[in-house]
């Protein structure tokens, strides 16, 4: 949440900052701003709305050799120009951008900033006033003032700070929020995500929590908060520029939905050996074998992917699986088994709620595996083991290809452990073959886009609310499908266990309420769900059925090519992704950037 960019050196800072912010817009898009320095001249431009709105406010003379920029997802104070970053100290000597939440900002304000003229409501403005006070009122050097402020501040942060008196330097510090240094020739950069700067460099340096970094055009010095120098090498980010473009697609979401067959095939090649056999790091297999219970911790769509994977993980690894919502588990962890293994599922690898649980697991010595799309992300670095999704960057806020890749990657893990254990169900489960059937099933659903678009127009054009229902794994898909629909189309939607409706919620069904029923290949459950469809139809619901071909009847609306039951969530979710996409498009909303959301949720 919130994106930070910074640059110093022989480049046009305005161009680099604006291009970087455009790439980081997925992290927050309620307001944005840049601060650019050119010799003695400084420019601060802020705007409510998107980066495009900021761009229209920039004059042609805003150029410079150094600067910082920010795209905001509001936490403290409403989205407004005053609350947009960068923020400045009392005299405007110091300028700061921030991602995170300063928990003791109210105490800082009352303890240190009496008489200061604070213009907005943000915790960030208080922080930069604090730094300014220490430097200008108490006579500390910039570094001393920054360090002193860092010793007082509590919470999560990634900061980039500039001093107008020494505009050749960007001071950086972080705790719990992501920040990287991008290394160039004659210039260096700061960014929340390598994607922001990949046009400029593929060489990056990590910053760890509670490190302070002094970034100049030709040097980068990493220190701990006591001022001790830290040696840090760089790494090459394996990001392809073409992966982060939209190409000819109108929206990233549609591109990412379409990429799913390719992602399935990439996963097969990433996790098979030369003989075509599924292969996973032996240490990861052993970690699962050593566990008496697997705890999956995740949020949102990733949490739903955990549910969709629970059944095959249990059956193939012979280990019980429990799920935890990350934001709940951070502070309300239930009694654990004797030998737990924590599996974190996270597209971004940066979700603060999940990280809070991981920090605690690490303190307790609990082994952990992160299943993520982003190599080098915080959850990947801090867990014992990582399995990558190989899905390529997912930029639309609504997660699609990451969800299906998460289930497929966990199937890889389950199969590898099952094979190692001699599990007979694993022996019968030819995952390479089954994933290629899944890829074909997705392709078949993608070829039905026009039909799905038309059905959506009939069903959801004017609805304010809707239901997805299903049983077994279809219920888990219903949870994900309803999240997708509500997060981008703003239709209030519940994903419900089909048999549970009659225990209360069926009272909400009246004439015309859309109910989308998901039925995949378990015949008994299918028969029961059909009964539940009759119940809602009798009360006036407008029903749309999404059914796998093996179970389908002629009158069913959307038919999904049948896949192995362990993988049916992957095949069944694809039409629901398209339902959400077209419902949103038909309402004239921004598919990729729904209101109030951000792609990477780095605050708790």
Which residues of the chain form contacts with ligand M6R (CB under 6 A)? 299-302, 346-348, 351, 354, 397-399, 483, 487, 601
Residues 6+ apart with CB under 8 A from 177: 99, 100, 156, 157, 158, 192, 352, 602, 603
CA separation for the pair 591, 138 (Å, rounded) = 50
> What spatial distance separates the first Cα and last Cα of the chain, rounded to whole Å?
10
Provide the minimum distance between the beta carbon of 330 and ligand M6R in the complex, in angstroms, as a whole number.
13
Q: What are the tokens at 287?
A: 């970690």
Whether omega before 328 lies within 30 degrees of 0, making that bond cis, reads: no
Provide the minimum distance between the beta carbon of 87 and ligand M6R in the complex, in angstroms, as a whole number.
26
Question: 220 or 358, CB closer to ligand M6R?
Answer: 358
Instruction: Identify the CA nearest to 67 among candidates 19, 25, 123.
Output: 19
Residues 6+ apart with CB under 8 A from 333: 324, 357, 360
Provide the minimum distance between the beta carbon of 1 and ligand M6R in the complex, in angstroms, as a whole number.
10
One-character DSSP codes across 25-48: GGG--SEEEEEEEETTEEEEEEEE
Provide the minimum distance between the beta carbon of 487 and ligand M6R in the complex, in angstroms, as a whole number.
6
Instruction: Identify the CA nearest to 557 among candidates 528, 522, 515, 501.
Output: 515
CA separation for the pair 162, 148 (Å, rounded) = 16
Question: 11 or 486, CB closer to ligand M6R?
Answer: 486
CA separation for the pair 538, 554 (Å, rounded) = 20
Provide the minimum distance between the beta carbon of 255 and ligand M6R in the complex, in angstroms, as a whole number.
15
- Residue in 46, 255, 266, 599 annotated catalytic: 599
Question: 64 or 306, CB closer to ligand M6R?
Answer: 306
Active site residue 191: no
Question: 346 or 520, CB closer to ligand M6R?
Answer: 346
Contact between 582 and 453 (Cβ < 8 Å): yes
Q: Return the number of other C-beta atoms located less than 10 Å from residue 481's C-beta.
A: 27
Provide the minimum distance between the beta carbon of 353 and ligand M6R in the complex, in angstroms, as a whole number.
8
Contact between 201 and 172 (Cβ < 8 Å): no
CA separation for the pair 114, 154 (Å, rounded) = 20
Contact between 261 and 287 (Cβ < 8 Å): no
Provide the minimum distance between the beta carbon of 483 and ligand M6R in the complex, in angstroms, as a whole number.
6
Say if strands 492-497 and 465-470 run parallel, antiparallel, or are unpaired: parallel
Closest CB to ligand M6R: residue number: 300
Question: 160 or 299, CB closer to ligand M6R?
Answer: 299
- Residue in 2, 133, 486, 559 annotated catalytic: 2
What's the Cα-to-Cα distance from 282 to each of 23, 182, 313, 363, rounded to whole Å?
A: 37, 33, 17, 24
DSSP reduced 3-state for 241: helix
Residues 6+ apart with CB under 8 A from 566: 311, 312, 315, 411, 414, 429, 434
Query: Tokens 């996270």 sit at which residue?
Result: 346
Question: 35 or 307, CB closer to ligand M6R?
Answer: 307
Provide the minimum distance between the beta carbon of 599 and ligand M6R in the complex, in angstroms, as a whole number.
7
Instruction: Identify the CA nearest to 197 among candidates 345, 428, 18.
Output: 18
Q: Return the number of other C-beta atoms located less than 10 Å from residue 480's C-beta.
A: 28
Active site residue 599: yes
Q: What are phi and psi of 273, to 5 degrees?
A: -90, -175
Question: 562 or 584, CB closer to ligand M6R?
Answer: 584
Question: 67 or 349, CB closer to ligand M6R?
Answer: 349
Provide the minimum distance between the beta carbon of 602 and ligand M6R in the complex, in angstroms, as a whole number.
9
Q: Which residues are catalytic?
A: 2, 599
């Amino acid at each position: 949440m919130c994106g930070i960019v910074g640059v110093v050196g022989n480049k046009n800072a305005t161009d680099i900052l604006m291009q970087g912010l455009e790439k980081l817009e997925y992290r927050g898009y309620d307001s944005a701003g840049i601060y650019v320095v050119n010799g003695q001249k400084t420019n601060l431009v802020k705007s409510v709305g998107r980066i495009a709105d900021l761009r229209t406010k920039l004059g042609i003379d805003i150029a410079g050799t150094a600067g910082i920029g920010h795209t905001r997802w509001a936490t403290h104070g409403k989205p407004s120009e005053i609350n947009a970053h960068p923020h400045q100290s009392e005299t405007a000597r110091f300028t700061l951008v921030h991602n995170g939440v300063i928990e003791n900002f109210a105490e800082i304000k009352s303890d240190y900033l009496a008489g200061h003229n604070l213009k907005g409501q943000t915790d960030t403005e208080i922080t930069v006033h604090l730094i300014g006070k220490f430097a200008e009122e108490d006579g500390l050097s910039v570094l001393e003032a920054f360090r002193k402020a860092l010793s007082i501040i509590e919470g999560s942060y990634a900061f980039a700070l500039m001093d107008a008196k020494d505009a050749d330097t960007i001071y950086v510090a972080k705790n719990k929020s992501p920040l990287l240094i991008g290394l160039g020739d004659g210039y260096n950069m700061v960014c929340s995500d390598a994607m922001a700067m990949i046009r400029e460099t593929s060489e990056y340096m990590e910053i760890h929590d509670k490190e302070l970094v002094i970034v100049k055009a030709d040097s980068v010095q990493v220190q701990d908060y006591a001022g001790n120098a830290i040696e840090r090498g760089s790494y090459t980010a394996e990001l392809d520029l073409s992966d982060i473009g939209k190409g000819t697609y109108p929206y990233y979401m549609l591109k990412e939905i379409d990429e799913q067959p390719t992602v399935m095939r990439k996963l097969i090649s990433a996790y098979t050996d030369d003989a075509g056999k599924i292969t996973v790091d032996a240490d990861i297999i052993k970690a699962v074998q050593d566990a008496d219970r697997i705890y999956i911790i995740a949020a949102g769509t990733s949490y739903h992917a955990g549910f969709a994977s629970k059944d095959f993980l249990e059956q193939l690894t012979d280990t019980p699986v429990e799920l935890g919502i990350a934001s709940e588990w951070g502070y309300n962890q239930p009694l654990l088994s004797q030998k737990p293994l924590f599996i974190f599922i996270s597209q971004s690898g940066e979700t603060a709620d999940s990280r809070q649980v991981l920090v605690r697991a690490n303190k307790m010595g609990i082994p952990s595996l992160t299943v993520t799309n982003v190599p080098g992300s915080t959850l990947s670095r801090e867990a014992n083991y990582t399995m990558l999704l190989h899905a390529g960057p997912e930029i639309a806020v609504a997660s699609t290809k990451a969800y299906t890749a998460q289930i497929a990657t966990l199937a890889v893990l389950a199969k590898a452990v099952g094979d190692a254990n001699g599990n007979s169900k694993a022996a019968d489960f030819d995952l390479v073959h089954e994933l290629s059937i899944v890829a074909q099933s997705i392709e078949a659903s993608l070829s039905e886009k026009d039909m799905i678009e038309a059905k959506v127009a009939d069903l959801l054009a004017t609805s304010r609310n809707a239901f997805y229902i299903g049983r077994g794994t279809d219920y888990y898909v219903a949870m994900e499908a309803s999240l997708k629909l509500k997060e981008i189309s703003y239709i209030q939607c519940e994903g419900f266990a089909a048999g549970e409706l009659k225990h209360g919620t069926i009272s909400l069904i009246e004439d015309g309420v859309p109910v989308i029923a998901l039925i995949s290949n378990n015949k008994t459950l299918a028969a029961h769900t059909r009964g539940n469809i009759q119940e809602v139809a009798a009360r006036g619901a407008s029903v749309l059925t999404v059914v796998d071909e093996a179970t389908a009847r002629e009158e069913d609306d959307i038919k999904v090519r049948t896949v192995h039951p362990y993988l049916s969530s992957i095949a069944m979710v694809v039409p629901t992704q398209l339902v959400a996409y077209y419902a949103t498009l038909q309402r004239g909303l921004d598919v990729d950037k729904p209101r109030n959301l951000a792609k990477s949720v780095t605050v708790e």
